[in-house]
Amino acid sequence: MLENEKIIAKLTQGKINSSEALQELYAKRATDGSGLVMATSIAVCDKDGNILEKTSSGFGDWENTAPVSPDDFFRIYSATKTFTSEVIRQQFEDKKLHPFMSVKEMLQAIQQDPLMQSRYGKDVLAEILGSLKFDDKATVIDLLMHTSGLASYAEGGIDKNNIPFRQSVFAAPDKKWSMPELLQFTPSATSEYGKFKYSDSGYLLLTMIAEYIDHKSYEDIFKARCFDKYGLSKTCFVGGFPADAKVAEGYVRDESKPGTQAVSHIHYHTSAGTGGLFSTAEDMLKWMPAYLEREAKFFKSLGIAPAIMEKGAVPSHVGVAGYRLGSVQQTIEPEEQGDKAITLEGVGGYARGGRSKIFRDVDTGKSVVILETWENLTVEIAKELQSKPFLKDKTVTENVYALRKAYTDRSSKLVDRNQMINDYNNKERGIDFIAKKCRASQQQAHSLL
pLDDT at 287 over 70: yes
What pLDDT, on the 0 to 100 scale, is given for residue 211?
Answer: 97
Q: By percentage, how much of the chain surpasses pLDDT 90? A: 30
Any idea what DSSP says for residue 67? B
Average pLDDT over residues 212-221: 96
User: Measuring CA to CA, which residue among 382, 376, 316, 374 is closest to residue 349?
Assistant: 316
Is the predicted pLDDT of residue 181 greater than 50, yes or no?
Answer: yes
CATH topology of domain 3-25+33-78+234-375: Beta-lactamase (3.40.710)
H/E stretch holding 43? strand 36-45
Over residues 278-306, mean pLDDT: 84
Mean pLDDT on 215-236: 96
pLDDT band at 357 (very low <50, low <70, confident <90, very high): confident
CA nearest neighbour of 173 among 268, 252, 271: 268
Q: Work out the burial of residue 105: count CB atoms within 10 Å of its CB; fewer than 13 is exposed, 13-18 middle, 19 or more buried.
A: exposed
User: Looking at residues 86-92, what average pLDDT do you find?
Assistant: 95
Residue ranges per domain, the chain?
3-25+33-78+234-375, 81-227, 380-448
**pLDDT for res 411:** 40
104-110 mean pLDDT: 96
If one compares 5 and 116, the residue with the highest pLDDT of the two is: 116
- pLDDT, tens digit (0-9, with 9 covering 90-100), for 15-62: 888 888 887 877 665 544 455 667 889 999 999 889 999 998 877 776
- What is the reported pLDDT for 169? 73
Is the fold of 3-25+33-78+234-375 the same as that of 81-227?
A: yes
Q: What is the pLDDT of residue 377?
A: 57
pLDDT exceeds cutoff 90 at 315: no
In the predicted structure, residue 335 carries a pLDDT above the cut 80: no
- CB 171: neighbour CB atoms within 10 A? 9
Mean pLDDT of 120-126: 94
**Any idea which of 78-82, 315-319, 400-404 has the lowest mean pLDDT?**
315-319
Q: What is the pLDDT of residue 362?
A: 86
> Which of 254, 257, 274 has the alpha carbon at shortest distance from 88?
274
Q: Write out pLDDT tens, residues 250-270.
A: 777 665 555 555 666 665 556
- Greatest CA separation for the chain: 68
Region 292-307: mean pLDDT is 74
Q: What residues contact 395, with CB distance under 8 A and at least 6 apart?
A: 57
Q: Which of 46-55, 352-361, 370-379 has the lowest mean pLDDT?
A: 370-379
What is the chain's mean pLDDT, rounded?
A: 75
- Residue 373 CB neighbour total at 10 angstroms: 28
**Phi/psi at 83 (nearest 5 deg)?**
-70, -40
- pLDDT of res. 384: 55
> DSSP string spanning 340-369?
--EEEEEEEEEETTEEEEEEEETTT--EEE
Pick the CATH number of 81-227 from 3.40.50.1970, 3.90.226.10, 3.40.640.10, 3.40.710.10: 3.40.710.10
Of the two residues 5 and 144, the one the predictor is more confident about is 144
Average pLDDT, integer, range 428-439:
38
pLDDT score for 254: 62
